[in-house]
Structure 1
Amino acid sequence: MRFINWVLPLLLATLVALQQPTLTDALIEDVLDIIHVVKEVTSGVLKAWDIVQSSPLAANIDFPLMREKQKKVLQRLKEVSKQIDNTEDQHAQYVALAIESVTSFMHNNAPIMAKMNDISDTINRISSRYQQMQKYEAYKDKLEMSTLITFAEWTVSPNAHSVHHLMDRLHITLLGNEDRSSNTTSTNLLQQLATAYEVSTDQICNTMQSAQQFIYSLYADIALTELKAYTMMEFSWMMLRVYGKGNYTQEAEIMRSEYEKRTERTLKILKDVMLRADRIVYRCDPTKHVRGVTYDEVTRLLQGYIENEVDLNKEETCRETCDFYQSTRSEGCFKDLYCSRQPKCSGRLYNCRFVDSDMWVCPSPQNSTRRYEFIEYENGRVLGQRGKCTRGTTKVDSWWRYLLWHCSYCFCLCDEEGLKSDRFFNLRDTIADVKRNRVVTGLRFVKQNRIFHLQIQEGELLPRGIVNQSTLEWKPVEKYNVFDRHVKNGVDYHKLSYEKRTIDLDDVDTDDNSFVVTGVRFRVVGTHLNLEAYYSEFDFRTGQLIRPEYNSYWKSNDNTDVSGARREKLRLSNADVSTRTIAHSIPLSRHNQYIDFTNTGLDKDAAQSTVPFMDIQDVVSNPPVPLAGIGIYYKGRNGYGGFLGPKIITYDFMPHVQVPKNRF
């Protein structure tokens, strides 16, 4: 999780600033990983000041000595700028994504875009001067004394174009005037952007960052820019000291004091914004739905099926109505009528109803999981989408028996287990390789051998929450079959049926920041599929899992009983095929709900598909981070079947944003 390598440069620069006391080791150990980079940067600054401490005043200039000290100072500058540049390069793509996202979802908000343009202009000015300083370092043996003096004086000059002024301008634009800080909502740009980001559902999928990560990414540009400005000012005072322009001890102390005040205020506000920011990452709809690539389906769980009443009872009578048969079976094929021309439903039939006596049926291709493309009744009603019928339509007519009983064709729902019915969910544990210090960093649904697995992405956890990106991999799912020897329903997998087709919609999270997710699984509670997360303890400073074989536990939302009475049901009624909507799906579920897999609507799809569909896109954050939680959610549009998908809850780095307690 490299994005933390740039967090809090201002704080950590403050902690080790020149000739000042630092915070306790315990506090330093608990902050984010940027401490390593900033320690090296500030160490370089300290060494550079050692070089110039003995510089003579203007009256006693030793030109060769000054040139030698100039070279040494610029060499230290090279070391410092290299650290800053490396950090900037590592996180440039995440910063770019965040800024591009702001431009996308805030383009109609003129005041905020004006602020963002102002910030961008200020950053560009500071970065331009910083690049100029780096060029001076590259030509340190050939530079004239006046060139460096002019640059240094411009940098520290108390005018509207100096770096000092630009730093103040950047701070005020981002956070507002300090005397108005009580009104944080109206003046705090970070909070405004975080709030707008959370309500703009598409943006989280464009950046693949939680709102908390998004705020980090925006802050990265600001933090690195201020670190550049700080470095320029320190080295400017040094160069002026080298060339005997003055002592500048008091000036440097004033600059550091102001720097500390800005830092403390910034970090307090940043911490507050992070505290409120959401940490959920999920996937939006792709530009184009592709079965087996972006989504997959539970198939033939409950499917529309035409059957004559005479075949719905063993006596072969037609004395009842279709509505009488709410749970039955197909008992035969009377006189080899239409029943002999379609694949028989060998399972149970539910919720039979009468639509009309006579119809034209368009059968689906033999390799399809559908039975019918559409059904057109004589009264003009059409079930499904009427179109070209490649296999040709078949006329199906009800009939009278003995002029007393009408043998009607009923429209029922078939619950049939078979080779075309993919209705299984893996119940086996999926655990990261904790022996190699791997943690879960992402999730996705995968259908393997007709079984849906919740697959995990794992990666090596490094100190202070970093994930080693070179180790990221999707852990292979277990390739078993439901008919394998010793594989059992209810133990290895869960088989959906009319009575058992419910899945809980939950966020499984932890408030204990010393644990991260290292595994996932489904269990069955009553008739509900219920998600569980496996948590393991770790040391934030070292990144090491702490005896995961002992310090780990499973957690779930146990608010489930057989009837589901303690949860709210999210209902799908007469839904169309999930992929037919032209509008992108939006999240519609919330924690502690549940949903049933069911058939699509009669009129819209002839009840041929099972919804919701399963979103099988990767759900990962960019950059990858350890997880504090996971979840299952539903997204869709009114009138359509929608999708079920996993979501991840990123680790909460807010407690590791430490505001200095000691003043300089």
Structure 2
Amino acid sequence: MTKAVTETFNGVKRFDHSVDFTRERLFSNLNNITRQMGEIKMRIDNTGKHESIANRILGNIPSVDKLELTLHYINTQQIYINIYYREMDRYVKNFHDYESSTLLNFANRVLSDMCNSVPYMMESMYQQVVKQDILRLLLKRLDRTTISDYFCEENQSVVQILHNFMNDILVTNVESYIVTQTAYMMQKLYNNGSYQKESEDTNQAFWTRNKKIVSIMKTYMVNASLELWRCDPKKHEKDVTYFEITNFLHGIILNQINLEPKAKCTNTCDAFTYTTKYQCHNDKWCKEEISKEQTTCAKIINCQYIDSSMEVCRSGNMSETNRRYDYVKFGNGIHYGERKSCSKPRSTHLETYRYWLFFKCTYCYCVCEERPSVFSEIYINMRKVISNITDNKVVTGLRFVKIHRVVHLQIQEGRVLPHGQIDLDSVQWVPVEDYNVTDSAYRDGKDYYTLKWEQREFDLDDMFADEGSVVTGGAFKKFHNRLHFKVLTSPYNFITGSLGNKSTVQSDPALLYKHKFSNKELKLDGVDVPIRSKVHSTEFTTKKYVKFTNTGYEEDAGQTTVPFFDAQPVESAIPVPLSGVGVFHKGISGFGGFIAPRIFTYNFTKHLEEVINQMSKNDKL
């Protein structure tokens, strides 16, 4: 488009027809150019906020800061230049209605020697950018470890922010160029001067600024982050901002007599580290536990003795509460779970008793792996999710959803265009495959993954597309009793915008095990329910694995499975193709945290050298 602008002005300079004919041709071309400019600006600002990138950054960064002052100055200059541009646009569209003196007066204001002239404002703004102080401060503010308000609200990767900031400055440079050159043409038409040298100087300054801005931005974008994920919400909302695995692992109270095959209390609690058999022998409490309010256990694990007496507050129907107990208060003063009141029907006193005078039968606190039931939510989808590649669509976002008790990683797709653009009208969340684990057509281990005590490891890692490819799908796969995510990628032609036919899976499980499969565990021992934290997540973990486990006894009586899943959608405010995707753990010490998706936006940096080379050719026109 800027090439067309240059040719337009060069054409007018060489034109020898009458003023009216020349003016007609000039303003007609300018009208087309301003329309194209409008389309470009809509692409850059398609978030609906109708404001410059600099102003949006300014609104989310703390005050009394050099960065704020610089951004404020840049934004002010952009506003003034845009005011001139809109005035010029009005004259171009309706030039027959204005006197020549009005147009000449406009040209004189644009080109005056005052500090509010367009060339002065553009050069002044340009100098603020190329000093690079603003970029260093901006990168510091966007550092992921600071979790700034701007990062949490803007929903763009750092590379995207820098790329869009660059585009924003370049658009202002184009606007100033068009306004300045138009002003010289007006002076030529109505003031009988040639203004050839002035026009040539303006052209040279325009391309010099373009190349310098892109070159400096490229330097900072090379090391900037491509990752994008969601900060914790201001308020957690179940099944909206998060959801959890339910009816999987619970703390449970059982008497020794029901754990021993011969129904004699000869062993201690800690002798029962793993068993799949137990009974209800002459024990009213056990029969109440295995009532229609609760479910039986598939396995009993890691039992321990706490005290000879206790008060237990049952939670009621487990299908509704997803808990066995609200709290347990022992005679020795130890308290499991939250401190709250308990209604009489749900409160039970238990204490050690003797059996046949010889045996002392104590109550043990164990971990129960619940048997799968109609209200168990312990399944993770393993079927592929793929964008509509035949319609040139790529993955642009991710989110966890839970449908029919199955956890799915849902993809957002959009039709990719040339130069990394996405057709906004095509962006949509691809419906997840709506199936039920009770359907015999779907098999455990192939279509879905069932969490069990022996297989509850979840891999926290990222997968990336090869150079020249973008993400078009993915799936969870089981490998060595661990669930990990692999991605599907497709070749992408940046110039034509077309996807290649040959897709690739990243990466092969054997290769993954050899090079990337981590043996480091993120341990969640003795942690509390994540939504009880008063502080947002500050610890972020990848390149490890995490085990789904029960919460701590003292914190929650071991009644909740952690970590939770973060259900917030991860999508860029300005959709782009993805260079990678992953899952990670976010939380804070002492709490179970969340498994969350993250995306890595397309890396535009690698194409900027080509842009600089093209600019070098154009400035010689």
Q: TM-score, normalised by structure 1?
A: 0.86
Q: Does 1:92 align with 2:45?
A: yes
Paired residues for 1:197-236 under 5 Å: 197-199=142-144, 200-201=146-147, 202-236=149-183
Separation in structure 2 between the aligned mates of residue 106 and residue 72 of structure 1, nearest angstrom: 46
Asked whether the 8 Å contact 1:312–1:329 carries over to 2, the reply is: no
**Closer, same or farther: CA 142–449 of 1 in aligned 2, 3 Å:** closer
The question of whether the paired residues in 2 share the 8 Å contact of 1:300 and 1:608 is answered with no
Aligned to 1:46: 7
Instruction: State the partner residue of 1:653.
Output: 604
* 1:574 shift after superposition: 0.8
Of the candidates 477, 481, 486, which is equivalent to residue 527 of structure 1?
Answer: 481
What's 2:567 paired with? Answer: 616
Moved more, 474-483 or 605-614: 474-483
**Could you say if the C-alpha distance between residues 559 and 500 of structure 1 is closer, same or farther in structure 2, counting changes exceeding 3 Å?**
farther
Specify the alignment match of 1:399 in structure 2. 353
CA distance in 2, matches of 1:212, 1:141: 45
For 2:303, the aligned partner's letter is: C
The Cα of 1:511 is off from its aligned counterpart by 4.3
| Residue 283 of structure 2 is aligned to residue 336 of structure 1 | yes
Counterpart among 306, 309, 317 of residue 253 in structure 2: 306
Residue identity opposite 1:525 in structure 2: F
Matches within 5 A, 1:222-621: 222-343=169-290, 344-366=295-317, 367-390=320-343, 391-402=345-356, 404-419=358-373, 420-512=375-467, 514-547=468-501, 550-555=502-507, 566-590=518-542, 592-621=543-572
Q: CA deviation at 1:72?
A: 4.0
Distance in 1 separating the partners of 2:476 and 2:207: 50
Q: CA deviation at 1:46?
A: 2.9
The answer for the alignment partner of 2:584 in structure 1 is: 633
Distance 1:385 1:572 in 2: 19
The whole-number CA distance in structure 1 between the counterparts of 2:154 and 2:222 is 20
Q: Assess if the C-alpha contact under 8 Å between 1:447 and 1:453 holds in 2.
A: yes
The whole-number CA distance in structure 1 between the counterparts of 2:536 and 2:75 is 32
Q: Is the 8 A contact 1:98 1:207 kept in 2?
A: no
Alpha-carbon distance between aligned partners in 1 of 2:54 and 2:539, rounded to the nearest angstrom:
24
Q: Which runs of 5+ in 1 are unaligned?
A: 1-11, 17-38, 57-64, 177-186
Change (3 A) 1:628 1:556: farther
CA positional deviation for 1:533: 0.3
CA pair 206-587 structure 1, distance change in 2 beyond 3 A = farther
Secondary structure at the aligned position of 2:528 is classed as: coil
One-letter amino acid of the counterpart of residue 91, structure 2: Y
Cα 1:92/1:471, change in 2 over 3 Å: closer
CA contact 2:562–2:592 (8 Å) conserved in 1:
yes
In the alignment, residue 627 of structure 1 is paired with which amino acid? Answer: L
> C-alpha displacement at 1:104, in angstroms?
5.0
Aligned-partner residue type, residue 360 of structure 1? E
The residue type equivalent to 1:396 in the other structure is L
Say whether the 8 Å CA contact 2:55–2:75 is kept in structure 1.
no
Go from structure 1 to structure 2 and tell me whether the alpha carbon gap of 1:556 and 1:147 turns closer, same or farther (over 3 Å shift): farther
Q: What's the offset of the Cα at 1:233?
A: 0.9
Kept in 2, the 8 Å contact 1:52–1:69? The answer is: no
Q: Offset at 1:230? A: 0.3
User: How far did residue 309 of structure 1 move?
Assistant: 0.6
- What is residue 32 of structure 2 aligned with on the other side? 79
How far residue 463 of structure 1 moved from its aligned partner, in angstroms, is 2.1
Q: Is the 8 A contact 1:49 1:238 kept in 2?
A: no
Correspondent of 1:70 among 5, 17, 23: 23
Task: Give the secondary structure class of the aligned counterpart of 2:209.
Answer: helix
* C-alpha deviation, 1:48, in angstroms: 5.4
Instruction: Work out the CA distance in 2 between the residues paired with 1:81 and 1:340.
Output: 80
Q: How big is each residue's C-alpha offset from its partner over 1:59-96, in whole Å with a ceiling of 9 and x where there is no partner?
A: xxxxxx43454344333332222222232234335474
Q: 1:412 Cα shift?
A: 0.3
Q: CA deviation at 1:243?
A: 2.0
Q: Residue 99 of structure 1: CA displacement?
A: 4.1
Residue by residue, what CA displacement relative to the aligned partner does 1:366-425 show, whole Å, maximum 9, x if unpaired?
122111111112222221112233553111222133555321110000012322322111
CA-to-partner distance for each residue in 1:322-368, whole Å, 9 max, x for gaps?
A: 11111124521121320111235331111111111111111113122
Q: What is the CA RMSD across the aligned residues, in angstroms?
A: 2.3
**1:304 corresponds to which letter in structure 2?**
G
SS in 2 for 1:588: strand
Alpha carbons of structure 1 residues 297 and 559: separation in structure 2 relative to 1, 3 Å: farther
C-alpha separation between the residues in 1 aligned to 2:63 and 2:602? 32
CA distance in 2, matches of 1:97, 1:171: 15
Structure 1 residues 301 and 97: CA distance shift in structure 2, 3 A: farther
> Would the alpha carbon gap of residues 144 and 225 (structure 1) be closer, same or farther in structure 2, given more than 3 Å must change?
same
Query: AA paired with 1:380?
Result: G
Q: 3-state SS of the aligned residue for 1:215?
A: helix
Q: Secondary structure at the residue paired with 1:50? A: helix
Q: Residues 549 and 562 of structure 2 are in contact (CA less than 8 Å); yes or no, is this contact kept in structure 1?
A: yes
Instruction: State how far apart, in whole Å, the 1-side matches of 2:288 and 2:170 are.
Output: 72
- Aligned mates of 2:227, 2:517 — CA distance in 1: 27
Task: Identify the range of structure 1 (551-560 vs 128-137) with the bigger mean alpha-carbon deviation.
Answer: 551-560
SS in 2 for 1:276: coil
Q: Provide the C-alpha distance between the structure 2 equivalents of 1:325 and 1:551, rounded to a whole number of angstroms.
A: 50
Greater displacement, 481-490 / 425-434: 481-490
How far 1:113 sits from its partner (Å)? 1.0
Farther off after superposition, 99-108 or 495-504: 99-108
Paired residue secondary structure (1:310): helix
CA shift for structure 1 position 101 = 5.3
Offset at 1:435? 1.7
Deviation at 1:313, TM superposition (A): 1.1
**CA contact under 8 A between 2:459 and 2:545: conserved in structure 1?**
yes
In 2, are the aligned partners of 1:52 and 1:242 still within 8 Å (CA)?
A: no
Could you say what secondary structure the match of 1:604 adopts? helix
Does residue 161 (structure 1) correspond to residue 116 (structure 2)? The answer is yes
1:571, distance to aligned residue in structure 2 (A): 1.2
- Does the CA contact (< 8 Å) of 1:101 and 1:206 recur in 2? no
Structure 1 residues 540-595: Cα deviation after superposition (integer angstroms, max 9, x where no partner): 22211122xx3433426767659x984321111211101111212235103x2111
Specify whether residues 55 and 587 from structure 1 end up closer, same or farther in structure 2 by C-alpha distance, changes over 3 A only.
farther
* Structure 2: stretches of 5+ with no match in the other structure: none
Q: Deviations over 1:293-334 (max 9, x none)?
A: 111111232210010011011111112211111112452112
- Please say if residues 635 and 642 of structure 1, whose CA atoms lie closer than 8 Å, have aligned partners that are also in contact: yes
Q: Give the drift of 1:134.
A: 2.4
Aligned counterparts of 1:328 and 1:252: Cα–Cα separation in 2: 87
Q: Return the match for 1:118 from 73, 91, 98.
A: 73
Residue type of the partner of 2:550? N
Q: Which amino acid aligns with 1:50?
A: G
How do residues 169-184 of structure 1 correspond to structure 2 at under 5 angstroms? 169-176=124-131
Amino acid at match of 2:436: N
Distance 1:100 1:526, change over 3 A: farther
* Matched AA of 2:554: D
Instruction: Give the aligned residue type for 1:655.
Output: K
